[in-house]
Amino acid sequence: MTETGEARVAAALAGLGGLGELPVREHVPVFEDVLGGLEAALASMDDPSPAQSPGDAGGAEGTR
């Protein structure tokens, strides 16, 4: 699988790895879970935390 560079996207896509072992009729719930994970990752990218606001030149310094 292609490296995405984004841990949340990679985690969501990892769910596709077991499709070959499942009957086709069981693929839809896997696709729905993967889609949900991708949507959550995308939504969280649209909502930056205060420590990572677009105008913050210091990045995530001072956060744990």
**pLDDT tens profile 2-12:** 677 889 999 99
pLDDT reported for residue 54: 54
Minimal CA–CA distance to 30: which of 53, 12, 6?
A: 12
Please state the pTM of the whole predicted model. 0.64
Domain boundaries, the chain: 7-47
pLDDT reported for residue 22: 96
CA dihedral 15, 19, 24, 28 (to 10 degrees): 10
Q: Please indicate whether residue 61 or residue 14 has the higher confidence score (pLDDT).
A: 14
pLDDT digits (tens, 9 = 90+) for 16-42: 999 999 999 999 999 999 999 999 999
